Each structure stands twice: as C-alpha cells, then as structure tokens.
Amino acid sequence: MTFFEESDHNLLFRYDGECVLLTPWGNDSLRVRSSMLSEIADESIALQMPQDFSARDTKITITDERHASIRNGRLTAELFVQEWGNALQITYVNQNGEILLREIANGGALAKKARKFKPLPGGNFRLTVSFESDPEEKIYGMGQYQQERMNLKGCNLELAHRNSQVSIPFYLSSLGYGFLWHNAAIGEVHFGLNTTEWSADVTKQMDYWITAGDTPAEIEGHYASCVGTAPMMPEYGLGFWQCKLRYFNQEQVLEIAREYKKRQIPIDVIVIDYYHWPRCGDWRFDEEYFPEPAKMVEELHQMGIETMVSVWPQVDWRSENFEEMKQQGLLVKINSGVDVQMTFHGNNVFMDATNPRTRDYVWEKCRKNYAGLGIRLFWLDEAEPEFTTYDYELYRYHAGAVSEIGNIYPREYSRLFFEGQQAIGQKDIVNLVRCAWAGSQKYGALVWSGDIWSSYEDFRKQICAGLHMGLCGIPWWTTDIGGFHGGNINSPDFIELLLRWFQFGTFCPVMRLHGLRMPGEPIINQKGEEREWTGAANEVWSYGEDAYRIMVKFIRIREMMRDYTRTLMEEAHTAGTPVMRALFYEFPQDKNCWEILDEYMYGADILAAPVCHEKAQGRTVYLPAGARWIHAGSGEAYDGGASYEIPAPIDTIPVFLREGRQEYLIHQI
C-alpha cells in the first residue's frame, strides 16, 4: 500500500478520502493543506509566495510505506502513518532535530483525529486540528485581545472580530517557530497545556503555514515575506495627531488648527470624526455644518496640516444611496428575517467590502466627495463590521458565508480605499482602521485599538495589544490616548491617567489624541433633529496649565524622534519589523524578557516603561541583559540584566537608551 507521493517539490499523503499536501513556501517554511473527498484547492486568502524563493533545494524522502519527510531549509516535517487506523501524524523539527510542533497521535483504541472533518449540510465541514502542547512553551501574537497578558499559553481565543478585538491567527513561539492558521472562518483556538486545538466553524479544507527561525526577528521576517509588509509611512504619520468626538462643524475644525499654529505646537493631522454626513451611507459632508469643505481643507493644507475624515461602512435605510446599493446587490445580506444589522441613528446595513463592485461604488463616492477636496487620509471605522449581536452565522458576504470567510472583511475594507487612492495617483497612503486581518498591512492599514475605557486597567491592556499586533505583521498601530469612554475633563484622576497615556502615546507607532470626553453637548440641526453629540474639549490646552506644559513637552519629544521614527518605519516597510517590540524581540537570550508585559522597545535602541498604575510616582524597570542602558532623563548609566526602582513624577516616563545610541534624548524626558 502506498500512502505517499512526491510531485514538483511537494509531498502528498492520501488515505480514505483525505489528501494532505505539504508545500515549500518561503525560506524555512511549509504550507500544509488537507481536504476530505476533494482535491486540494489552490487559492490563497493571505499567503503569497516570496518572489526570491526557490524550492529547488527542498529534500523529500520516502523511507517506506509508513514514513516520509520533507525538508525546506531549517524546517523538516516528519510524516508517520500509525498502524491503528492508518492515521497520519506530522512532526515538525528544526535543523537541530528539536521538536517544534507535533500533531496529536490517534491514541490507538481512542481513535482520535489530528485533523477532524465533521460534515455539514451543503458539502462544507466543521474542522478541528489538534497538536501536542509543550507546557513550557510561550506563545505571542494572534492579534489584539483586550487582556493584560503577553504569554498566551493557556488562553482560549475567539477567531472573530469585535469592536476592540482583532483576530489575526499568527503566533510566534518561544520554541523557535511561527504558525499561521490560514483560514478566515469564524472559530476558536485553545492553547491548552495538554493540546493546542484550532477550529473553523465552516470550511472546505485545512490550511496552515509554519516556519522555523533561530530568533524572533528571523521568524517575523519569514512571515512578512509571505504575507506582505506595510508601505513606507508618510511623513505626516510621524508626528502628533489631534482628534476628539467630535468636531461637528468646519469652523470648529479650523479654530482648533489655528490655535495649534498660534501656540506653535507641532501638529501633523487633524481628524474629523463620524456623523459629519447627513445619513450613514451618504459618504459626504453635511452642508449645514460643513458648507465649504474644500476651503476648509485648503486652509488646513496651508497650515501644513493633513485632514482625515471618518468613513463608516453602514448604510442607513434613509441614505440617498441605499436603494441603489440594495438593487445592485452591494450590501451584506442577512440569511433570514428583517435586514437590520446595526441600529444607531436609524436602521443600518453594511456595505459588502468583499464585493469588488461595492469597492468601486463606495470609492467613487469618496473620491468625488472627499479625495476631490484634497483629503488624503481616511478613518475606516466599524471595520469588523460591528454586527449588533455578533451572530456571525446570520450573515453572508459576496465572498461567502460570514461563518466561512468573515474575518477578511476589515482587510478588504482597507483594500477598498488603498486601491482607490492608488488609482488616482496617491503615493503616501495611510488609513486609520478599527480592525485588520493577515495582509491588512499591505493596504496602508493603521490599526487602532477600538472603543476602550478610560481606565488604568484598559491602559495596561493596550501595551500588550500593541506588542501582539506588531508580532502579527501590523507595525502601524495606535490607541485613543486617554481611552475612548468615560473620561471627564474636570476629574483630576482622569487628567493623571491622560498624562500617563500621553507619555505612552509618544512612544507608539502613531501618536493620536482622541476620546469621548465628558460632559458632552447635544447637537440639534435646523430641522429640529437630534444629531450625534459632541464631547467636551480634548485639546492639549483643555486640561489646565500643568497638564498643558507636560503634553506639549512630549509632543516636542516626539518631534525630536522624527528621524529615528522614520528609520523604524523604513524597517517595517522593507522587512516587516515591528515598530513597537516586545523585549524578547531584541533580547531573545534573556529569559526574563519573555515574561515582561508592561515594558517594550521602541525600535532597537529605546526602552519605554510606561507608568500604568494609579497614583504611582515611579516603577520597577527591568533592563535586558546584553547591553548597558542610559536613563534618558538623567543620563545615568545602568547595567543590563537587573531591575531598578526608577522615580517617575507625573511629568516624566522611564525611558532608557542603549549605551552609545540616540543620546540626543538625554535630559529631555
């Protein structure tokens, strides 16, 4: 009996209706696919073959009818057909023969399946894939989950998007490998101590990618070569961005911009938030509040400030575009019942970003009504999209059922604008978006962490979120400085939190002040209709003189780092390197660095340790072994490999520099 076949550098296993195909896919990497009662499909929803990769050096060995292997560089897959039931078990090892990952065995009489296809009506399957688990392994990545945790071992994660939750199914292991679950279905992953178990609610086949590397940087480089990298960050992405919920008319926007210029405070971008439109789905300014948007944009440009406008994918039943989009089939479909997918200022459905015709239609509206005015930056809100109940099985996209393909929506939303902007000749593209999936970075996606609370707990969660996102190939990431919900500008406690968050924001890939500040004010239009309200003031001068002095100080520090930040963005563009890096990324040999969740590297040379506990006037800072460190405020030198108690009054943040590098920051923080 013959289980294995070799064909064009691929290794194929067949038994009892199942095909398993292992394909060299980039340096030290394999793509692994399995299908039941069908041939392997060739399509790829995220993976791209690196242009400079050749599989000529791949070695395939079929030892006997039950043993075979395929080696690609430092990664080898060893295949063993177990005698009980002829079940296939795959083990992945590195160049030293060390086990990186292994499928579960069938357990003899237990008759377990490492790849379990459960048939569903219509021909698809519910898929479960199970691996053995090393209890000492540490796991990082997987996107953005709102939890104060770096090592994901032991975590149960939903493979689905929500407001402030971003599911990107790639992780980096402390054992020396990276793993991408190449499946956009709604599902789950359980990083248990006994097994790691992936599931897809609805799918046609199994598809994952695994790579080996001696350092986290090598693993991340392999991953980036197969899913793409971000464009080069435009110059206006390196400085300070001003935003709030919400500047509701054009005079308010201009007054704020003029005040920044009058005070000579550096500012690169001002953001016009949602409901500047008449109805969701109109994709244009409301003439009552923005009567001359072209003049507004031109004046901002004359001040050297870029304009960003919010775009929502919702289409109100009353929108001027709703009936045409419904007739043309450009909207997300509900499988049954009344077609209302979100209720907010009316009944709304979502435009279908997975449909190329929808992307053309929506971009044409935005090209005419925004880009035609000189606007080059878009804020792509609601990108999950935010189905009110998150009952994913109720909805269907052009690309397929949401249960089967739903997680690609935010990437296709970013793609809509990126390709539209490219088509009109724009080169420097960056769009703020609330969600992402594998490959979103290729489309100029700057992800922010959603509608989080103004609390120290949420603040700490964002540090972890940013580090995980960087490891998932999303180097452009930011938060609402100060949090989104619950910040009262008259509260001394909130002002303290805001300042600590502002310091953290200075050392984020993009520095952006935003939030719904209390107390708010209602907005009533000329027809007597209540519009979306506006929050309290949220400019740097809105919180008193002491806070103003501190925030302006950190904006100027951000400006001092512009050249340095630009080099980090170049690294992200060329190699997929995170801007905001977990300590172990730079210091993988220091075991302590794999445990720390509230410090990080801003690039290779700057260590930031935000003060993220209420009323704290200092904190413990661990400095990695392998370098000496210079305190950026005092200039004092510290040995690496030890922890220190560092004072940090409200006007400063503990920041350390690798000795001999970037000394221009000394005495400034």
Q: Do domains 4-227 and 582-665 have the same CATH topology?
A: yes
Say what percent of the chain tops pLDDT 90: 96
- Within 13 Å of residue 623, how many CA atoms lie on the same side as its CB? 23
pLDDT of 561 > 90? The answer is yes
Least-confidence region, from 134-138, 241-245, 369-373, 657-661: 657-661
Span 316-340, pLDDT tens digits: 999 999 999 999 999 999 999 999 9
- Between CA 203 and CA 186 the distance in angstroms is 9
What pLDDT does residue 423 have? 98
Architecture of the domain spanning 4-227: Sandwich (2.60)
Span 28-83, pLDDT tens digits: 999 999 999 999 999 999 999 998 899 888 999 999 999 999 999 999 999 999 99
Give the chain's mean pLDDT: 97
Residues in CB range of 175: below 8 A, 6 or more apart: 98, 100, 101, 134, 137
In the numeric block, the tokens 């609370």 are attached to 453
User: Mean pLDDT throughout 96-117?
Assistant: 97
Among residues 488, 471, 479, 484, the alpha carbon closest in space to that of 432 is found at 479
What pLDDT does residue 55 have? 86
Q: Give the single-character DSSP code of 597.
A: S
pLDDT of 662 > 80? The answer is no
Query: Can you read off the two tokens belonging to residue 136?
Result: 């000492």
**240-313+361-575 CATH fold:** TIM Barrel (3.20.20)
Q: Is the domain covering 582-665 a CATH 2.60.40.1180 domain?
A: yes
User: What are the structural domain ranges in the chain?
Assistant: 4-227, 240-313+361-575, 582-665
What pLDDT does residue 373 have? 98
Cis ω for the linkage preceding 519 (within 30 of 0): yes
Residues with active-site annotation:
381, 384, 451
DSSP 3-state assignment of 398?
Answer: coil
- Between CA 575 and CA 101 the distance in angstroms is 26
Span 479-493, pLDDT tens digits: 999 999 999 999 999
User: Mean pLDDT throughout 521-530?
Assistant: 95
What pLDDT does residue 57 have? 86
User: Mean pLDDT throughout 387-400?
Assistant: 95
**The one-letter amino acid at 342:** M
What pLDDT does residue 650 have? 98
| pLDDT band, very low/low/confident/very high, at 524 (cuts 50, 70, 90) | very high
Residues in CB range of 232: below 8 A, 6 or more apart: 428, 569, 570, 573
